[in-house]
Structure formats: structure tokens, C-alpha cells
Amino acid sequence: MPFVKVYIHLVWSTKNRVPHLNSKELRVKVWNHIRENAQKKEIFVDFINGYSDHCHCLISLGVDQTIEKTLQLLKGESSFWINKNKLTKEKFEWQDEYFAVSVSESMLDKTRDYIKNQEEHHQKKTFQDEYDEFMSKYGFQKFKG
């Protein structure tokens, strides 16, 4: 039996960054649903939070899980659930684009704190600022294709 512990910090936004998740109550409902759905699909969500136009999720990948498939399950089902329950005024969609970075054991608490403090964090910094920071910090490059 393999023993695997690979933590990934995932970040994804609403389609066109529309601030659909515009209340704390709605966000809590969505994050709780994503966590419950993940558990049913045997996806380990360590921590989840976000703001009106994006989600941060710290997961630990299972032995047969890929980042792409895991995100597909989390994002696809949650957008379906949000629309089915008419939780937003307009049709809800997540953006296809996302960030995924590995997190070492020694950085787990710092990552959890960062995710936990999204409300406070985004009083000072927009998601675009955060996006640009991630692109730079992790050396991501956008390729025109």
C-alpha cells in the first residue's frame, strides 16, 4: 500500500472574476458544500476559503488523483450546485484557469493562515494584485497560443 502526502494550494476564480460570492454567508455555504462534496469523492480538503471572486483550497492529493481531475470535480460540481440552488442572480461559472503550487510540510500552517485571512487580506489587496503576485512569486508565465 502506498503512503502519499502531497499538499497543493489551489486558487481559482469566478468566470471573468464576477464577484458572485458577494456575501460572507454565501461564501461559507459554498466552501462548506465544496468540502462536503470533496469528502464524498475522497478528496482531502485541508482548508478552504476565498473572497467574492475566487477560492483558495489546500488539498492533499491521493495516490490516484491528479490536480486537473480533482479541480474538475470540485469546480464542476460546485458550479452545478450553485446554479441548481439559485444562489446567485446570474448563471454561475468558475474560470478555466487556476493556480496550483506544492506546499511543504513546514509551510502548511503559514498557508492555512493565508487562506483563513482572505477577508482581511482583500481589504488591502485586489485579486488582480494577488494574481500578479502569484505569477511573479512562482515564476508562472502566460503563453499566447
Position 144 in a domain: no
Position 143 in a domain: no
Position 142 in a domain: no
36 pLDDT band, cuts 50/70/90, is very high
Position 11 in a domain: yes
Position 69 in a domain: yes
144 pLDDT band, cuts 50/70/90, is low
Position 119 in a domain: yes
Q: Per-residue pLDDT averaged across 130-139, rounded?
A: 89
The secondary structure element, H or E, covering residue 103 is: strand 94-103
Residue 22 has a pLDDT of: 95
**Domain membership of residue 77 as a residue range:** 6-137
Residue at grid coordinates 485579486: 127
pTM (2 d.p.): 0.92
Look at the chain and report how many structural domains it folds into: 1
Per-residue pLDDT reduced to its tens digit, 80-112: 999 999 999 999 999 999 999 999 999 999 999
Give the pairing type, strands 44-51 and 6-14.
unpaired
Query: Among positive and negative, which fits the CA dihedral 31, 35, 40, 45?
Result: positive
Position 120 in a domain: yes
Residue 42 has a pLDDT of: 95
CATH number at residue 34: 3.30.70.1290
Beta strands in the chain (DSSP E): 6-14, 44-51, 54-61, 94-103
- Grid cell listed for 108: 502548511
